[in-house]
Amino acid sequence: MSPAHGPLRTGPQPHVMYARILRLYEAAFGTEPTDVRALGADGSARSYHRLVGSDGSTVIGGVGPEAEENEAFWSYSRAFRSIGLHVPEIFATDAEAGVWLMEDLGDTTLFAALDAERRRAPGSFPESMLPAYRRVLEWLPRFQVEGHRVVDYGVAYPRAAFDRQSIQWDLNYFKYHFLKLAHVPFREAALERDFARLVDLLLAADTDHFLYRDFQSRNVMLRDGEPWFIDYQGGRRGALQYDVASLLYDAKADIPDPERASLLEHYLDALEAVHPVDRAQFLEVYPGYVLVRILQAMGAYGYRGFFEQKARFLKSVPYAARNIAGILESGLPLDLPELETVFRRIVDRWSDEPDGSPSPAGLRVGINSFSYRRGYPGDETGHGGGFVFDCRAIPNPGRQERFRDRTGLDTGVARFIEALPEAGAFWDSVRALVDAQVDTYRARGFTSLTVSFGCTGGQHRSVYFAERLAAHLRERYADVGLGVLHRESARWPRPAGTPTTE
C-alpha cells in the first residue's frame, strides 16, 4: 500500500473520494488541509492522498473498496504498533466510508533506493544496499514471531491461514492468469498432480507464524535510514519461509545468488535470536516456498499486464524467468515433471528478453507495438511525451497465408514490408520525427520518451517498425536507454522470432 510512487491518479469519482477524506481529516484535526495530492497505488484497487496541514505537516489518506481488507489493515497496524514494530500509526478511520488517515512515511521505498543506487553505479547488485537489506531482514522475524502473538486472525482477509486452499488459489492464479493468458502450453491434469505434490511439501513446514504475504521491496519504506513496513493487510497464519523468499526473489530487485545466500543466512541468524530454528529443516522446505512465491507473482504480472493491460507489470516477467532459470539449474525441490516443462518454456521465451532498464543518467526511450482493437497503450510516465504512429496504411503481411502465423520479428515479414514503397516513406517520416525529438530531449536533460506503433492485430507491421526503430536508436545513440514492449505478444499464434526461409 505504498503511498507514493508513480503518476497522479484518482478513481472514477474523485470528488467523492476527496469529500470522504476531507470530512475525516476535519473530524480528526479540527481544520481543513491546505492541500490534497493524489498518489499512485500500483497494482491495487486502493488509492492514496497526501494531505498537508496549515503547519506543513502531512498525513496519508487511504480509500479502500474492501471493508474486510481495510479492517485487517487497521487491526494489524494497531497490534504491531503495540509491540514497537515499525508500521504507520492509524490516526482515524471511517469504516462505512472506507477511508482512513495514517502516518506519512515519506516517498522512499527500499526498491526506489535500490534503483537509485543502480543508476549511479550500473552493473552488479550495489554493495551499498546490503546494510538496508540486512536491517529489513532483522525486522522480519519480529513480525513473524512477536507479531504472531498479538494479531487477531479473526479479521484476516481473504483467509486466516496460508493453508491448502490458499496455496491452491495462488497456483491457479499462475495457471489461469499467466499460463493461459500468455498462451504457454501445458497438460492440465499433469500440472495439477505437480501442484498437489508441491502443496504437500509446503504444508510439511511449521505454519504457526505470521505470514506477511507481500514482503517485498516496494512495501518497505526507508525513513531516516530505518525500514518501516506497509501493505501487510493480506497477512495470515503461515510458514516462516514464505516472506524471506518474497524479499530475496523479488523479481525486479534482481538480487544475485551469492547475495541471496548471504542475506538468507543473516535472516536465519536474526530469527534464531527470537525463535529456535532447525536450519536443515528450514532449508529443506525453503525452495518450495521460493517456487510458490514466484508462481504467485507471475500470476499477478499476467493479470495486471495481460488482462488489465498495465504494461509495466510485464516488464517484471524477464526477471522472474531468469529466477526460474536459476532454480532449474539448481534443481527443483521434488519431482515436478510438468511444472519443469512449463518452466523451461517460460525460460526459453522470456529469460533473454531485455528488461528495458534506463541508462544510468539520461534519456530512456520506451518503444511499444500494439493492436488498435485493444486500445492505445497506457502512459507509464505521467507526462505523455512522445508519438503514436498508425501503421495501418501500409499493406498488411497478415493477409498473406505464408505470414499469417508469423510476426514482425520474422525475416520474411521484414523483407515483405521493406519492399513496399509505402513502408519506405513511412519509415523516413518516423525516423526524422523521432531523431529530432531525441536530440531535443537529450539536449534539455529529459529522461523519458515513448514511441508506439499500432496496427490491426499488433503482430506484423507495428512489431516490425518498433524493432526497426530500436535498432536505429541503438546504433545512433550510445547513451540512450531503450525498452521494447510488444503488448500483444501473448496473443501471437506462436512464439515470436522463428525465421521463415523467404
Three-state DSSP state, 367: strand
110-350, superfamily in CATH? Answer: Aminoglycoside phosphotransferase (APH), C-terminal lobe (3.90.1200.10)
Q: Calculate mean pLDDT across residues 203-209.
A: 96
Q: Domain-by-domain residue ranges, the chain? A: 14-103, 110-350, 364-491
Residue 9 has pLDDT above 70, yes or no: no
Report the topology of domain 14-103. Phosphorylase Kinase; domain 1 (3.30.200)
- C-alpha cell at position 51: 494531505
Name residue, grid cell 476527496. Answer: 18
At residue 16, the pLDDT reads: 67
CA distance 344 to 6: 34
Question: Cα–Cα distances in Å, from 359 out to 418, 454, 469?
Answer: 31, 26, 17
Say which residue, 139 or 183, is predicted with more confidence.
Answer: 139
10 Å Cβ neighbour count for 91? 16
Sign, CA torsion 490/494/495/499: negative
Question: Cα–Cα distances in Å, from 36 out to 17, 31, 89?
Answer: 11, 13, 19
Q: Calculate mean pLDDT across residues 93-113.
A: 95
At residue 43, the pLDDT reads: 62
Percent of the chain with pLDDT strictly greater than 90: 74
Q: Calculate mean pLDDT across residues 25-45.
A: 84
pTM of the predicted structure, to 2 decimals: 0.71
- Model confidence pLDDT, tens digit, residues 449-470: 999 999 999 999 999 999 999 9
- Model confidence pLDDT, tens digit, residues 264-305: 999 999 999 999 999 999 999 999 999 999 999 999 999 988
